[in-house]
Chain A
């Protein structure tokens, strides 16, 4: 039986658009791209090629995810414009994400210029804590905003991998250790995402549209 509580109706409609598993796949894909970059790093490729590879993989992934949403998710869930307060919260979330990207870029710039400017960098643990905050703040914000607590698992995986990288220094202790750590984390996120996506495709069939996609339009035109 459908709930008639307005808050439940709105929440269920909103959650339906976040629970197709593709966001989990997106996180897994990002970590997989990081694993590829870690392999290139280990092979001694120049930094520009690693950045180019990461950029291409990230764009490719976003393209594939958008296509899957358009091709398989949208026909099942339909289209909806949410209420203005949801739109306002989306805007606030984008501002938070932009601020985190800016913070990350500032950290990278600071690290690069630290020797020239004579700035003392924090130790490994301090660096890891800062990076963890930069990762977890937007992920926690997204999880809360999208009503999607599972995102915290992916954020946690990122933070663990960074700990292995920065504090434990896994890449120098184990051949391809960085790629291995990212690969394991990516596999977990991808397994979760693909599982949820398959379940979504099975449990949410395309609705039967009777006389065809325009049946209702036709009936309205006829009246």
Chain B
């Protein structure tokens, strides 16, 4: 099989494709930024799960962890980076193309 004949979808981003991370990125895509409690409540992830997946997304450069203080307490918000937003857009387009031509 030549490279031209490879099935579509082989270039799908596996960082985003993992269901838990897909849910996380989808939540961050529709808002400007959110904290950990918000993400835990909306995804039903445990603290450990969330931490692990956010670390992977941060390593890929898809999320940015922004730390500041609210009063004297440290407060951390998570934000999708421009690269993360772009990656999610690409993923959406690829999945739409991949699934659009399926026979009934």
Contact = CB atoms under 8 A, between A and B. Distances in A.
B65 to A, nearest CB: 6
A30 to B, nearest CB: 29
Main SS at interface, chain B: helix
A80 B67 contact: no
B12 to A, nearest CB: 16
Nearest to B42: A13
B96 to A, nearest CB: 13
Nearest to B22: A4
B41 A207 contact: yes
Interface residues of B, number: 35
B15 interface: no
B50 interface: yes
Contact of A223 (B23, B55, B76): B55
A79 B29 contact: no
* Most chain A beta-carbon neighbours within 10 Å: one of B31, B34, B55, B58: B31
A10 interface: yes
B47 A77 contact: no
Contact of B31 (A82, A208, A214, A215): A82
Contacts of A9: 26-27, 30, 42
Given A207-B40, A208-B46, A216 B76 contact: yes
Interface in A61-87: 75-84
Given A2-B43, A4-B22, A216 B51 contact: yes
Given A6-B26, A9-B26, A13-B31, A81 B41 contact: no
Contacts of B33: 80-81
B44 interface: yes
A78 B34 contact: yes
A14 to B, nearest CB: 9
Nearest to A221: B67
B47 A80 contact: no
Contacts of A10: 30-31
Interface in B58-77: 58, 65, 67, 73-77
Given A79-B35, A82-B31, A219-B55, 11 more contacts: A2-B42, A2-B44, A78-B37, A78-B41, A79-B77, A81-B31, A81-B77, A83-B30, A207-B41, A209-B37, A216-B50
